[in-house]
Chains A and B, each alone.
Chain A
Amino acid sequence: MALEHVAQGQTRFFTPGVAPDPRGILLGRYCLMTFATLEGAVSWFRLYSSEASLDELLANLTITKARTALGSREIVVQIPAVSSYAADRSARLARLVGGAIYTGTSKHYVKYRDDRSPYGYDAVDIGAMPAGMDFMVHGDEFAQGYIREGDLPFGRLLFRLSIRKLPGGERLGPDDRGELYLAVARGLADGIIRYLWRNKVEAQAGLFTPGSTSAFDDQVRGRGYMLIRARALPERILALFLGTPGIDVFRPAGANAAVAVGHEHPIDLASCASVFPPETFHVFWPNDRVDVLPGPLTLSDIGDLTRVDLELDRPRDPAQHTGAPAEPIGVELKLAASMGPPRRVVATLIPLEHGSRLKRILFALPPVSLRGHRVAATDRGILVVGSENLDVIPLGQLLYELAPGLLVPLGMDVVPRVSPDVLARALGHGAGIVTVFTAEGRPFQVSESAFATLERRALAKLDVERAEGIDYAGEASAEAQVVNDAVGRFALWGFPDAPDRKLLPPGK
């Protein structure tokens, strides 16, 4: 018996059904692990499930009880060689729990790589398999044939394992308490639901009866219980429920399983969720009890399950109430003599009959005053608003500005003395509007667009004649065109010779 180290880049091997993977490591379709006992195999599953997902191996995973030619028995676990990385992890964990790992495809399995041979091993003298053997493994110094005695399905192994109590496992952190299942005896259900509802715990509840395969199991209905899914259960309530007989608390393990709080399944159930059929929900109780509930769980909100008291014999008619507008509590705005210092005059309201006086004053006003003022003629008077002090016009009711655009007679104040913002809102005053309080009568509003500059209003419309411009540009000369006049047949008769004189006299 001899194994050869596989060299880098080697592509031809004696072992049938093996090939190098992209990294050059010799790999068959399967990996085969041999364990002396079933506990060894379980330990491997436990370790592997805590590190990686078993789901990717479950499709072709088999657990076989095998016997050697000498009669010794071993547990053989065959997993698909998904990749050399998964095989590396399997090899590491198998060696950790005292097992051995081989790789191959059908009958011959050769030792998987280790530190001494990083690319794996190749069995150089594979001979005929002894009669009666189902498969054969090739190790460093031996070749061992095995006979299959029986298979152990992984699902059955999973449910046969007892959950173990964890020391201090009943104390759950906030994340672990995010979603919990409560199995409540039917007599306690109303009280628990009311209790949870009163404590504002978000929860859904459903009534379940565990499935049974026995036709003689009459007690199965009595074992029915209410399953409540509670979210963010406070720690004090969890402690209360854990100490209350008739209430069992479970923690979800994957989508279709839950394990009693304070206990743990040897194999991480979340990593082998494909074992649980989607139409079931497995509840792992202490003491090896596993309830299979119909899944996925259909639950109802507990807010709709609280008790309702009905007194049909004393019907109450709904009382009729009529609404009414709120009684006004406002007070009327008034103008009262102001006690404060005199304010700056920004506007004046001149009665219409004083318009002619205003015209006369306009002639006397300096240009600066005339330029800064605006005027609006309304039916309540002529309103003149200035940007500066307007006391240059000694006419009408002088006004000062209480708020922008809010004009109040000089020496008066608005009572009650509310803030200008409140006053503006009550009056419907806003941007683009001028509101004027008058000493006699109600206030009025003028749009800003009604104002024109006093300078412009001061002038009547003038008729100005438009002068015509004179274009002094030179005229574009017309095209000069030669026209040959008719000359007689003898036009050149008598045409004299040119004088014989110097043609080019000196210049300058």
Chain B
Amino acid sequence: MPKLHVREFLERFVRPLVAGGELHVAAPIPLADVERWTGELDHASVELVAVDEARHVVLSTLVCRPPAFVLDSDELCLAAGLHNALFLVHPRADQWSVSEKQRRRIIETALALVSQPLSRNRTRVMARHALLNNLFHLTRNDVTVSWWTGRARFHGQTPPARLVAWKGMRRVREEVTVVDFDELLAVPDTAPVIATLLRRTPMTQLLDSHPGAPPLHWEDAVFLLRDSELARAVAYRLVPDAGPRDQVIGPARLAAAFEQMLERAPEEADIRAVAAFLVHLNALFCLGEMSLREAGARSPLISTVLSAEAAGQRPRGLATLFALPGALALVDPRLSVPPGVESIPALAKRWMVHRAQTAELLSDAVIDALAQRLRRHLRPGQVARDPSEVIALSPNESSEQDPAPQG
């Protein structure tokens, strides 16, 4: 069998992965092939440039000036690992000719490919996100063809023409079922590969998610909040211009991850950064209601998502998200209000309305319990310096030491 060239892999799999289109999943890729492809990258400039341009387009909606990057060997490994994971749900992988031992080999190869070093480099993180931005939106069309004497199912494959011929006479019926992340990448064989892959691209996890995806590990992603441009991009992506329930899904997911973070032993600065970011999301909710006709009217958003009738349908973390400003006011008041809210009277009024309404709907017990959990991590005895003082004393270092996003 002829060896596959890297340009075919880039053309048939990587570029559709970035820009959309048909991702062709073929036989699993051994490690030796990936190492060979790394050397062949220099001979696939056209395909490489196409992939990088597609990644620039993806990032152009997030940052003003996407950084310059070129597809690297570790990104090639990540893509190959994803390819191998997708092969595990290939119909050929379920047949008798593929033994359990062979499946385990594929899984181990995929894990080895995606186990690239974690990175906190801004360019690298953005490049990886651009590569994997469609990860949660991969779909596959499964066609079920039924005819007068039988039926057959084709997973992501076109049924052969002989099966769909003479539709009227043979009473051929085709049913297309679209399967998504749940059935492709959240199955037991692929889940560990995807979990490992997602830890390599924390930005993708911040910006997007799927109910079947592994939860965010805040410690891997908190460094992104210290980049004001990226933090702002994440915040604006998380609060879309949509209905109340759609608006809170993303922030509630991050708040649920914050709950998990509180159960571990993270650094205090990380806790403060995430808490300040979630409080900032609360301020965005207020900002979205600035155009209400009555400045002191109750918030329709909070009334909808926190109503007692919808208590059973609340997404995880929602209560924590809205209770956080109140809890922080008890623990560290400097974090409880985003900087600059008081300078806009209308925004400050909406903020007060939101806090009062939240306290009324969530009860003080919820807020007190969260405050207790926060006290375990935020040491009140140690008076932290005011971030503004830090900026005044040392402007060069302020951006690195300021835990709160300046969005």
- A interface residues, Cβ below 8 angstroms from B: 474-475, 477-492, 495-499, 501, 503-508
Given contacts A480-B16, A481-B22, A482-B23, contact A496 B139 (CB under 8 A): no
CA–CA, A499 to B111, complex, Å? 11
Chain A contacts for B129, CB-based, 8 A:
none
Chain B contacts for A506, CB-based, 8 A:
117
Contact of A482 among B32, B106, B111, B184 (CB under 8 A): B184
Chain B contacts for A474, CB-based, 8 A:
57-58, 60-61
In the complex, residue of chain A having the shortest beta-carbon distance to the beta carbon of B108: A498
Judge whether B25 and A477 touch: CB under 8 Å: no
The 9 closest A-B pairs by CB, nearest first: A478-B20, A507-B118, A498-B108, A484-B156, A491-B27, A480-B134, A482-B140, A503-B115, A485-B26
CB distance from B345 to the nearest CB of A (A): 34
Judge whether B115 and A496 touch: CB under 8 Å: no
In the complex, residue of chain A having the shortest beta-carbon distance to the beta carbon of B91: A484
Judge whether B31 and A498 touch: CB under 8 Å: yes
Judge whether B20 and A484 touch: CB under 8 Å: no
CA–CA, A481 to B16, complex, Å? 8
Judge whether B21 and A481 touch: CB under 8 Å: yes
In the complex, residue of chain A having the shortest beta-carbon distance to the beta carbon of B107: A498
Binds A, one of B97-105, B224-232, B319-327: B97-105
CA–CA, A474 to B118, complex, Å? 29
Judge whether A477 and B20 touch: CB under 8 Å: yes
Given contacts A492-B98, A499-B112, contact A481 B58 (CB under 8 A): no
Q: Is B209 positioned at the interface, with any CB of A under 8 Å from its CB?
A: no
CB distance from A285 to the nearest CB of B (A): 86
In the complex, residue of chain B having the shortest beta-carbon distance to the beta carbon of A497: B105
Q: Is B122 positioned at the interface, with any CB of A under 8 Å from its CB?
A: no
In the complex, residue of chain B having the shortest beta-carbon distance to the beta carbon of A501: B112
Give chain A's interface secondary structure class: loop
Q: Is B336 positioned at the interface, with any CB of A under 8 Å from its CB?
A: no
CB distance from A160 to the nearest CB of B (A): 87
CA–CA, A479 to B23, complex, Å? 10
Given contacts A492-B102, A497-B105, A503-B112, contact A480 B21 (CB under 8 A): yes
Contact of A505 among B102, B115, B140 (CB under 8 A): B115
Q: Is B38 positioned at the interface, with any CB of A under 8 Å from its CB?
A: no
Given contacts A474-B61, A483-B24, A485-B24, contact A508 B138 (CB under 8 A): no
Contact of B138 among A480, A489, A496, A507 (CB under 8 A): A480
Contact of B117 among A491, A492, A495, A507 (CB under 8 A): A507
CB distance from B254 to the nearest CB of A (A): 21
Chain A contacts for B119, CB-based, 8 A:
507
Judge whether A492 and B21 touch: CB under 8 Å: no
Judge whether B61 and A498 touch: CB under 8 Å: no
Judge whether B112 and A498 touch: CB under 8 Å: yes
The 26 sampled A-B contact pairs (Cβ below 8 Å) are A474-B60, A478-B21, A480-B16, A480-B138, A481-B16, A481-B21, A481-B22, A482-B22, A482-B25, A482-B139, A482-B140, A483-B22, A483-B25, A484-B90, A484-B157, A485-B24, A485-B26, A486-B157, A490-B97, A492-B27, A495-B105, A495-B106, A497-B105, A497-B108, A499-B31, A507-B117
Judge whether B31 and A477 touch: CB under 8 Å: no
Judge whether B31 and A496 touch: CB under 8 Å: yes
CB distance from B124 to the nearest CB of A (A): 12
Judge whether B32 and A496 touch: CB under 8 Å: yes
CA–CA, A304 to B17, complex, Å? 114
Q: Is B283 positioned at the interface, with any CB of A under 8 Å from its CB?
A: no
CA–CA, A481 to B137, complex, Å? 9
- The tally of residues in B whose CB lies under 8 Å from a CB in A reads 51
In the complex, residue of chain A having the shortest beta-carbon distance to the beta carbon of B30: A496
> Considering the complex, which residues of chain B in the window 137-185 have a beta carbon less than 8 Å from any beta carbon of chain A?
137-141, 155-157, 184
Q: Is B349 positioned at the interface, with any CB of A under 8 Å from its CB?
A: no
Chain B contacts for A487, CB-based, 8 A:
26-27, 90, 92
Contact of B20 among A480, A489, A492, A504 (CB under 8 A): A480
Q: Is B120 positioned at the interface, with any CB of A under 8 Å from its CB?
A: yes
Interface mask (B1-31 → A, CB under 8 Å = 1, otherwise 0): 1000000000000001111111111111011
Chain B contacts for A481, CB-based, 8 A:
16, 21-23, 138-141, 156
Interface mask (B116-133 → A, CB under 8 Å = 1, otherwise 0): 011110000000000001
Q: Is B86 positioned at the interface, with any CB of A under 8 Å from its CB?
A: yes
Interface mask (B235-273 → A, CB under 8 Å = 1, otherwise 0): 000000000000000000000000000000000000000
Chain B contacts for A477, CB-based, 8 A:
18-20, 57-58, 133-134
Chain B contacts for A489, CB-based, 8 A:
97
Q: Is B201 positioned at the interface, with any CB of A under 8 Å from its CB?
A: no
Residue among A479, A480, A485, A504 having the largest count of chain B Cβ atoms under 10 Å: A480
Q: Is B109 positioned at the interface, with any CB of A under 8 Å from its CB?
A: yes
CA–CA, A507 to B184, complex, Å? 28
Given contacts A484-B90, A497-B108, contact A479 B137 (CB under 8 A): yes
Given contacts A480-B138, A498-B112, A504-B115, contact A475 B57 (CB under 8 A): yes
Chain B contacts for A483, CB-based, 8 A:
22-25, 140, 156-157
CA–CA, A475 to B19, complex, Å? 9
In the complex, residue of chain A having the shortest beta-carbon distance to the beta carbon of B179: A482
CB distance from A502 to the nearest CB of B (A): 8
CA–CA, A257 to B37, complex, Å? 134
CA–CA, A350 to B118, complex, Å? 86
Judge whether B156 and A480 touch: CB under 8 Å: no
Chain B contacts for A490, CB-based, 8 A:
97
Given contacts A484-B156, A507-B117, contact A479 B31 (CB under 8 A): no
In the complex, residue of chain A having the shortest beta-carbon distance to the beta carbon of B25: A484
CB distance from B139 to the nearest CB of A (A): 6
Judge whether A482 and B138 touch: CB under 8 Å: yes
Judge whether B120 and A508 touch: CB under 8 Å: yes
Chain A contacts for B20, CB-based, 8 A:
477-480
CA–CA, A255 to B219, complex, Å? 110
Chain A contacts for B19, CB-based, 8 A:
477-478
Chain A contacts for B134, CB-based, 8 A:
477, 480
> Considering the complex, which residues of chain B in the window 273-287 have a beta carbon less than 8 Å from any beta carbon of chain A?
none
Chain A contacts for B98, CB-based, 8 A:
492
Residue among A474, A491, A503 having the largest count of chain B Cβ atoms under 10 Å: A491
Judge whether A485 and B25 touch: CB under 8 Å: yes
Residue among A475, A498, A505 having the largest count of chain B Cβ atoms under 10 Å: A498
In the complex, residue of chain A having the shortest beta-carbon distance to the beta carbon of B57: A474
Chain A contacts for B109, CB-based, 8 A:
495, 498
CB distance from B112 to the nearest CB of A (A): 5
Contact of B139 among A479, A497, A498 (CB under 8 A): A479
CA–CA, A489 to B1, complex, Å? 13
CA–CA, A485 to B92, complex, Å? 10
In the complex, residue of chain A having the shortest beta-carbon distance to the beta carbon of B97: A489
CB distance from B120 to the nearest CB of A (A): 6
In the complex, residue of chain A having the shortest beta-carbon distance to the beta carbon of B22: A483
Not counting A481-B140, A482-B25, A499-B31, a sample of 6 additional A-B residue pairs whose C-beta atoms are within 8 angstroms of each other reads: A481-B139, A481-B156, A482-B139, A484-B140, A490-B97, A499-B112
